[in-house]
Amino acid sequence: MAFAFSKVLVANRGEIAVRIIRACREAGLGTVAVYSDADSAAMHVRMADEAYRLGPAPSAESYLSIAKILEVARLSGAEAVHPGYGFLSENAAFAEAVRAAGLAFIGPSPEAIRAMGDKAAARAAMEAAGVPVVPGYHGRPGVEALGGVSRGAPDDAELLAAAAGLGYPLLVKARAGGGGRGMRVVREAGELPAALVAARREALHAFGDGSLLLERYIARAHHVEFQVFGDSAGRVVHLLERECSVQRRHQKIIEESPSPLLDDGLRKRMGDAAVKAAKTAGYSNAGTVEFIVDPETREFYFLEMNTRLQVEHPVTELVTGIDLVRLQIRVASGEALPFAQEDIRGRGHAIECRLYAEDPERGFMPSSGPLLRYVEPAGPGIRVDSGFAEGDAIDLHYDPLVAKISCLAEDRQAALARMRGALSGTAVAGPTTNLEFLLEVLEAPDFAKATMHTTWIEENMGGWKSKSGEPSPELLAAAAIILGMAAESRDPAGPSDPDGKGDQRGLGGPWSADDGFRAGRKR
Partner 1 sequence: MKRRISLAGTEAEVELLREGEAWTARVGETSLRVERIGEREGELCLRINGRQLQLQWAPDEGGAWICQGGRSYRVEAARKTGPRRRELAGPGEGALRSPMPALVVAIEVAEGEEVEGGRTLIVLEAMKMETKVAAPAGSWKLRRLLVAAGQQIARDQELLELEPRGPSELRLAERRPIGPEGDD
Scan residues 346-405 and list those touching partner 1 (CB under 8 A): 362-366, 368, 372-373, 375, 390, 396-400
Q: Which is nearer to partner 1, 80 or 435 (CB)?
A: 435
Q: Which of 260, 223, 216, 241 is nearest to 454 (CA)?
A: 223
Q: Are 229 and 285 in contact (CB under 8 A)?
A: yes
Q: Which is nearer to partner 1, 140 or 505 (CB)?
A: 505
The CB-of-467 to partner 1 minimum distance in angstroms stands at: 7
499 is an interface residue for partner 1 by CB under 8 A: yes
Q: How many residues bind partner 1 (CB under 8 A)?
A: 75
Q: Which is nearer to partner 1, 189 or 375 (CB)?
A: 375
Q: Are 182 and 161 in contact (CB under 8 A)?
A: no
Q: Which secondary structure element, helix H or strand E, spans residue 415, and what is its range?
A: helix 412-424
The CB-of-451 to partner 1 minimum distance in angstroms stands at: 23
The CB-of-26 to partner 1 minimum distance in angstroms stands at: 30
The CB-of-396 to partner 1 minimum distance in angstroms stands at: 5
CA-based R_g, the chain, Å:
25
Q: Which of residues 140-179 bind partner 1 (CB under 8 A)?
A: 179
Q: Residues 18, 428, 441, 452: which binds partner 1 (CB under 8 A)?
A: 428
Q: How far apart are CA 378 and CA 348, in angstroms?
A: 19
55 is an interface residue for partner 1 by CB under 8 A: no
What's the length of the chain? Answer: 523
Q: Residues 232, 451, 455, 466: which binds partner 1 (CB under 8 A)?
A: 466
Q: Residues 66, 143, 384, 439: which binds partner 1 (CB under 8 A)?
A: 439
> N- to C-terminal Cα distance for the chain?
49
Q: Which of residues 58-117 bind partner 1 (CB under 8 A)?
A: 58, 86
14 is an interface residue for partner 1 by CB under 8 A: no
Q: Which of residues 242-281 bind partner 1 (CB under 8 A)?
A: 249-250
Q: Residues 490, 492, 494, 513: which binds partner 1 (CB under 8 A)?
A: 490
489 is an interface residue for partner 1 by CB under 8 A: yes
Q: Residues 141, 445, 463, 516: which binds partner 1 (CB under 8 A)?
A: 516
What is the DSSP code (8-state) at residue 391? T
Q: Which of residues 289-348 bind partner 1 (CB under 8 A)?
A: none
Q: Residues 14, 210, 348, 430: which binds partner 1 (CB under 8 A)?
A: 430
Task: Calculate the alpha carbon distances from 443 to 50, 222, 466, 467 in Å.
Answer: 44, 19, 14, 14
Q: How far apart are CA 335 and CA 332, in angstroms?
A: 7
Q: Residues 7, 22, 99, 181: which binds partner 1 (CB under 8 A)?
A: 181
Q: Which is nearer to partner 1, 336 or 460 (CB)?
A: 460
The CB-of-241 to partner 1 minimum distance in angstroms stands at: 25
Q: Residues 102, 467, 493, 523: which binds partner 1 (CB under 8 A)?
A: 467
The pairing of strands 373-375 and 369-370 is unpaired
Q: Which is nearer to partner 1, 40 or 100 (CB)?
A: 40
The CB-of-368 to partner 1 minimum distance in angstroms stands at: 7
H helix and E strand count, the chain = 17, 23
The CB-of-375 to partner 1 minimum distance in angstroms stands at: 5
Q: Which is nearer to partner 1, 266 or 485 (CB)?
A: 485
Segment contacting partner 1 (CB under 8 A): 3-11, 71-79, 127-135, 513-521?
A: 513-521
Q: How far apart are CA 57 and CA 293, in angstroms?
A: 40
Biggest alpha carbon–alpha carbon distance for the chain: 85
For residue 278, give the amino acid letter. A
The pairing of strands 427-429 and 369-370 is unpaired
Q: How far apart are CA 497 and CA 500, in angstroms?
A: 5
427 is an interface residue for partner 1 by CB under 8 A: yes
486 is an interface residue for partner 1 by CB under 8 A: yes
How far out from the chain centre does Cα 295 lie? 24
The CB-of-369 to partner 1 minimum distance in angstroms stands at: 10
Q: Residues 93, 219, 233, 475: which binds partner 1 (CB under 8 A)?
A: 475
198 CB-side CA count, 13 A: 12
The CB-of-292 to partner 1 minimum distance in angstroms stands at: 17
40 is an interface residue for partner 1 by CB under 8 A: no
How far out from the chain centre does Cα 483 lie? 37
Q: Residues 74, 205, 268, 347: which binds partner 1 (CB under 8 A)?
A: 205
The CB-of-370 to partner 1 minimum distance in angstroms stands at: 9
Segment contacting partner 1 (CB under 8 A): 117-125, 137-145, 169-177, 499-507?
A: 499-507
Residues 173-191: b if buried by 16+ CB within 10 A, e if exposed: bbbbbbbbbbbbbbeeeeb
For residue 294, give the amino acid letter. D
Q: Which is nearer to partner 1, 283 or 511 (CB)?
A: 511
Q: Identify the bridge partners of residue 10 per DSSP, sorted by sequence position.
A: 33, 82
435 is an interface residue for partner 1 by CB under 8 A: yes
Long-range Cβ contact pairs of 200-209 (< 8 A, separation 24 or more): 202/174, 203/174, 203/175, 203/176, 203/177, 206/174, 206/177, 206/181, 206/182, 207/174, 207/176, 207/177, 207/181, 207/182, 208/176, 209/149, 209/150, 209/174, 209/175, 209/176
